[in-house]
Amino acid sequence: MQTFIPQPLCPGDEVRLVSPSGAIDPAYVDAARQRLSGWGYRPVESRYARSAHGRFAGTDNERAADLQAALDDPHVRCILCTRGGYGLMRILDRLDFRALLRQPKWVVGFSDITALHAVLSRQGVVSVHGGMARALAELPPEASSVVLLRDVLAGQRPSYMLPPHAANRPGTAEGLLIGGNLSLLAALRGTPYEPPYAGNILFIEDVGESPYRIDRLLRTLRLGGVFRQLAGLVVGSFTGTDPDPLMPVTLEQQILDAVDNPSLPVCFGFPAGHVDDNRPLLLGHPARLEVTDAGGMLEFR
């Protein structure tokens, strides 16, 4: 499959702020615009970026129209999704990606934006699993996740060295990095929009799921044969999870028990997900994962 990597952003490039999922506090949009302007870019809001329709940032038609306009507009060099929440799956089948394939552009976001990343990975378009408007609004400019996001959009390829983790499973893997939010990945199983698992490296994270629900999500992937297809697995942050004394094993052991591929390298503790230290990841980009007793290494090639 051909890989389409967007061109690095240059001063003056347009960054379109789009809200394809949940409604967002307008103050975060204002602050994100200020941060992007400080980086030298030209932030432009989509028509319904500040809208609210129940839990959504506008109706399905409005959100789909905003995202489609950003995908189609040749002047837009980057689409920054303002927040996750829920809502992207409701509009996936309305979107046309032909213009994006002709002129790839950066798409940035995480959480519910996983659904969009999955489609882009299927299309061969590299996208950024990274911070959105709230992170740009609240984190200091020197925060690692903020600096790294700025550098990635400017064309740098990050290389991450991780400390040892007792649950790591050693090994080496090469393939496209895919994935994102575990709940969304499980929800996309059996649809035309799930990412290409075979021979690739999967990243997973989640927030606010109880341990038994995490186990069910993992078993959904296992029963679908996902773990047997992978070249490697990277585990990010699982936050907002209350302890469950009725679950007999740790989260790490739940994951290892679900992986029915004993030779699969597994790297725990990657700093990405619903945390401030949400390091940007290039989804759909060729990557190399190496896990040893000394720790883990993830680099983009």
Q: Where are the domains of the chain?
A: 14-153, 159-300
For domain 14-153, the CATH class is: alpha beta
Residue 300 has pLDDT above 80, yes or no: yes
Instruction: Give the pLDDT score at 301.
Output: 87
Instruction: Give the pLDDT score at 34.
Output: 98
Give the range among 46-55, 101-110, 240-249, 284-293 with minimum mean pLDDT. 240-249
Q: What is the mean pLDDT of the chain?
A: 97
Whole-number percent of the chain with pLDDT over 90: 97
Contact 105, 78 (CB under 8 A): yes
- Assign 1 a pLDDT band (cuts: 50, 70, 90): confident
Contact 112, 181 (CB under 8 A): yes
Q: pLDDT tens digit string along 132-163?
A: 999 999 999 999 999 999 999 999 999 999 99
Fold of the CATH domain 159-300: Glucose Oxidase; domain 1 (3.50.30)
List the beta strands (DSSP E) in 62-209: 76-81, 106-109, 127-129, 159-162, 171-181, 201-207
Rounded Cα distance between 47 and 19, Å, is 10
Is the fold of 14-153 the same as that of 159-300?
no
For the whole model, what pTM was predicted? 0.97
Active-site amino acid positions:
111, 205, 274
List the beta strands (DSSP E) in 99-239: 106-109, 127-129, 159-162, 171-181, 201-207, 232-239
